[in-house]
Structures are given as structure tokens and as C-alpha cells.
Amino acid sequence: MSKIYQPLDDFKIVELPEKQLPFWKIAGPGAILVGLSIGAGESVIWPLIAAEYGGSMIWAAALGVFLQLWINFEVGRWTIATGETVYTGYSRIWRGFGPVFILLTVVGWIAPGWARTSGLALKALLLGPGGWGPDTFWTMVTFAGVALILFGPKMVYQSVERTVEVLVAIVTIGLILVALAVGSMNTWKELGAGLINVGYIDPGMSVKKLFSALVFAGAGGTANLFYTFYLRDKNIGMGAQLPGLQNPLRGRSQKVPATGFLFEATEENRKRFTAWWQYVKSDQILFFWALNTFTIMLFIFGALAVLHPQGIVPEQGKLIYDEAKILGQIWGVAGQKIFLLVGVATLFGTQLALVDGVSRSISDIIYTNFRGAQKRDLSWWYLLIAGIWIAGGCVITYVMEQLNVSELGFLFNAAYMGGFAMALYVPLTLYMNYRFLPDFAKPKRLSTFMMLIASCVYIGFAISSIIWEIKQLIGG
């Protein structure tokens, strides 16, 4: 095994950088996670559930976002304390976690249901769902947009952050306009009743489907781990000790250390860590939890107000268009176009953030763990993985279309596989922070308690899903 893996250096001991800028000057990493979150889970999966079952299980959407808040706290804790990605931390526990997380990332995200849905939304906005062009063509158009944003500017992170922030603003404003147009007091009551209906599961809802929906309420799957890269590139905490990811097509890239740092348990470092930890909490509570919960409830509200009363459960590829069409009957062409624009912004934001996050994850794991990988710069690996991912996404979309496979099925499967990944990495992240960090930087009681609850939820659902699958096989 030692011939395969690159030895991991011990942590270098340095001073923790001081937080000098106010929160709003360095805000942003949490907003990218919102851009990821409002994609398939908020705009497709949860509105679909609301259209079919009404508001009875909305509590699970709120729970999913709340649990992921605590997961993101702990991902942030590791990165501000060490400057390392969480993947490097996992490899410090066991070298085999590197290949395991490459596999989980590939299995979870390889089928581009999110990209195909993004292409379908763009097609519906411009031409209507029956307009010219196969799904593959429109998916290629959106992937071309992703490539321009990732490989146009010099610094990858800045272009992703700015684009996603604009898209999130479009989505939020558009959803508020939609809610004002279609809202009624009865719909608000149904939404509220579903939020407090904790524990209720409709008899028609399978454990697999509920698990998938819970995972995709929020970023979901390995997407929560992408937060580690955004903090580093924003120079948050110990991430300031490492250079940001540069575009290798726009000039010379820098050598990036594969391992990180720790700080001595001095009073000054304690104060600095506390300041950075407050930043992570503010970033996640304001952007991820508050904004994410707000937008997912607005998407569900739209489905409750527009689709559910008419008994419409959209067919594959038509959810956003069906909502927009009915909205157009209420509010005219302007209402229809607003919702289609919201759909495009939502899904394209997710597509962009996923290609970026997946490429960062796989390239980071390869660069850090495998012998000989550091002969190439990290940015070279990123470019290679992103290029393969985009080309592969177009090919898989073409195959899906030829076989008449629904993009909705792939979205649910991505969430399902992501749930099993979370059952592994949630307890692993808590253990890692306890094992390696200085005492005053370790998780406190509340964080520990919430991470244990989250671990039990995801592990419990994973075991229940395996039992359900076995019963389906035996029954079949």
C-alpha cells in the first residue's frame, strides 16, 4: 500500500491568522452552498412531493436543512483550524478513505439528472417544452456555460461565487413574487400544519424516497463537504495560509501544499479561533440555514398553491414548466416567464457548483493521496477532472435520452447514494475534530449532541433503506 500512497506530512505548527475584515467583507462561502441546495432538492424533489402528497411531510424538509447546518459547522471547524480539506483529515484516520470518497463522489453525482433538468428549464424558458432540440443539445448548452465560468476568469472561486450569488438573488426575488401572486391563507395554513406534523409519513411514501428527500433538503450527499474548499479559497482561518485555486489556462499556477497546519494553544490563538468560529456560525446560519429554509418553503408553497389543488403530479422534465404554465393562467405571460427564469437560475446554479465541487473533491484526493500526483499542479488535476465530468455528462445525457430514462429517477438516486455517504462522513467528521484539534477548538456539547443525532438519523435511514431493498427483492 505504501507504494500507492504519498506519505502525509505531519501538521506544521504556525500562528492562526487574525480575522481583520468584518463579516460582510468576507461573506460568500455559505452562499455557494445555498446555490447547491436550491437545485434538485428544492426546485424538483420537494415540490414533486408536495404536488403528490400535499403539505403533510414538510417537517422533513425543515429537519433536513437543520441537520445539515450542524454538519457544515463541523466541516468549517476543521478547515479554519487546519487549512486542510476534510478529505485530507479523513485520510489521516485511514488512507483508504481517499479512494472511498472518490467512489462515493462519482456514484453520487455521475448521472447528470441535475444538468439535464437545467437544460430542460432553459429550453422551456426560451421555446416551451415542446420546442426544438433534444435534451442532450440543451444540456450541452448549459455545460458550455459552466465551462466558460470555470475556465474564463483567472481565479476559479471568485467567478463561481459571483455567479451563484446573482442566481440565488434571482431565485429568491422570483419566488417571493410567485408567492405573492398565488398565495392564499389556506396554503399558508397547510404549510404551517406540515411543519409541525413532525414524524408523519404518508403511507404511500417509501423509506427510499423519504431518505432521498431528507438528504436533498439542503446541499446533501458529499456536496456539504465542498464548503471546505470555499473557506480555503476565501482565506478564512488557517485557509489564509494556502493559495487559492487558479485557472491553469490563464497563466502560471502555484504549488499548493497537500497538508495543513495546527496552532499552539495560546491565549491569542484561542481568541483568533473564536473569531473565525463566529464567522462560520454566522455564515451558515444566515446563508445556509435561514435562506435555504426560506427558499425551500417558497418552492413547496408554489407546488401546494398551484399543482396540488388541481391534482397535477408533473411528468418527467415538466415540473417547472407545469408550475409556470398554471402561474401564467393566474398572472399572465410575465408570471410564467418569471417562474421559468427562477427554474433556470436554480438549476444552472446547482449544475455550476456541482461541477466545481466534484472536480475540486476528486482532484484534491488524488493530489494529496497518490504517489506521483504532485508532479502536476492541483489546478491541472482540477481542469482534467472538470473536462472529463462535462464531456461525460453530455454523453450520459445522450444515453439517458435514447433509453428514455427519466432525469427525475437519476435525481432521486443521486440523493439516495448521497444519504449513504452522509451516514459515513457525519460521524467521521465528528471523530476527526475530536482526535486532531486542540482542546479549545474541539466541538462543544451542543455541537457534539447534534452531530450524534444527525449520525443516528442518516445511519438509521441507511439501514432501513437496505432492509427495504432486501424486502423488495424478496417480494419481487
The residue whose grid cell reads 506519505 is 7
C-alpha cell at 50: 408536495
Return the higher-pLDDT residue of 274 and 211.
Answer: 274
Q: Which residues pair with 370 in a beta bridge?
A: 5
Weakest-pLDDT range from 81-85, 87-91, 127-131 = 127-131
pLDDT of residue 444: 96
pLDDT of residue 220: 86
Handedness of CA 290, 291, 295, 296 (dihedral sign): negative
Angstrom CA distances, 366 to 111, 234, 389, stand at 21, 22, 15
Average pLDDT, whole number, for the chain? 87
Weakest-pLDDT range from 92-106, 296-310, 373-387 = 296-310
Weakest-pLDDT range from 43-47, 108-112, 394-398, 439-443 = 43-47
- Is residue 41's pLDDT more than 80? no
C-alpha torsion angle, residues 303, 309, 315, 316 (rounded to 10): 10
Return the higher-pLDDT residue of 7 and 429.
Answer: 429
Q: What is the pTM of this model?
A: 0.92
Angstrom CA distances, 335 to 300, 302, 331, 420, stand at 17, 12, 5, 39
pLDDT of residue 325: 74
Average pLDDT score over residue span 105-128: 84
Average pLDDT score over residue span 324-339: 73
Task: State how far the Cα of 168 lies from the Cα of 180, in Å rounded to an integer.
Answer: 18
Using alpha carbons only, give the angle 448, 454, 455 rounded to the nearest 5 degrees. 85
pLDDT of residue 1: 54
Average pLDDT score over residue span 56-77: 96
Weakest-pLDDT range from 94-103, 387-396, 414-423, 440-449 = 414-423
Could you tell me which of 155, 105, 142 has the C-alpha nearest to residue 352? Answer: 142
Weakest-pLDDT range from 26-35, 151-160, 161-170, 407-416 = 407-416
Average pLDDT score over residue span 421-439: 97
Return the higher-pLDDT residue of 233 and 317.
Answer: 233
Could you tell me which of 366, 350, 413 has the C-alpha nearest to residue 115? Answer: 350
- Is residue 301's pLDDT more than 90? no
User: What are the residue ranges spanned by the domains of the chain?
Assistant: 12-475
| CATH assignment, 12-475 | 1.20.1740.10
Average pLDDT score over residue span 183-195: 89
- Is residue 129's pLDDT more than 70? no
pLDDT of residue 371: 92
pLDDT of residue 407: 61
Q: What is the 3-state secondary structure (H, E, C) of the chain?
A: CCCCECCCCCCEECCCCCCCCCHHHHCCHHHHHHHHHCCHHHHHHHHHHHHHHCCCCHHHHHHHHHHHHHHHHHHHHHHHHHCCCHHHHHHHHCCCHHHHHHHHHHHHHCCCHHHHHHHHHHHHHHHCCCCCCCHHHHHHHHHHHHHHHHHCCCEHHHHHHHHHHHHHHHHHHHHHHHHHHHCCHHHHHHHHHHHCCCCCCCCCCCHHHHHHHHHCCCCCHHHHHHHHHHHHHCCCHHHHHCCCCECHHHCCCCCCCCCCEECCCCHHHHHHHHHHHHHHHHHHHHHHHHHHHHHHHHHHHHHHHHCHHHCCCCCCCCHHHHHHHHHHHHHHHHHHHHHHHHHHHHHHHHHHHHHHHHHHHHHHHHHHHECCHHHCCHHHHHHHHHHHHHHHHHHHHHHHHHCCCCHHHHHHHHHHHHHHHHHHHHHHHHHHHHHHCCHHHCCCHHHHHHHHHHHHHHHHHHHHHHHHHHHHHHHC
pLDDT of residue 317: 52
Q: How confident is the model at residue 369 (pLDDT cuts 50, 70, 90)?
A: very high
Contact (CB, 8 A) for 59 and 200: yes
pLDDT of residue 251: 60
- Is residue 370's pLDDT more than 90? yes
C-alpha cell at 204: 404511500
Average pLDDT score over residue span 6-21: 93
pLDDT of residue 300: 87
Could you tell me which of 241, 245, 222, 248 has the C-alpha nearest to residue 233? Answer: 245
Q: How confident is the model at residue 311 (pLDDT cuts 50, 70, 90)?
A: low
pLDDT of residue 374: 92
Q: How confident is the model at residue 313 (pLDDT cuts 50, 70, 90)?
A: low
* pLDDT > 70: percent of the chain: 90
Q: How confident is the model at residue 266 (pLDDT cuts 50, 70, 90)?
A: very high
Weakest-pLDDT range from 223-232, 285-294, 317-326, 430-439 = 317-326
C-alpha cell at 17: 491568522
The residue whose grid cell reads 504556525 is 14
Handedness of CA 182, 214, 393, 153 (dihedral sign): positive
Q: Could you report how far apart the first and last alpha carbons of the chain are, in Å?
A: 42
pLDDT of residue 263: 93
Average pLDDT score over residue span 20-29: 88
312 dihedral zone (left: phi>0; alpha: psi -120 to 50; beta) = beta
Average pLDDT score over residue span 439-457: 97
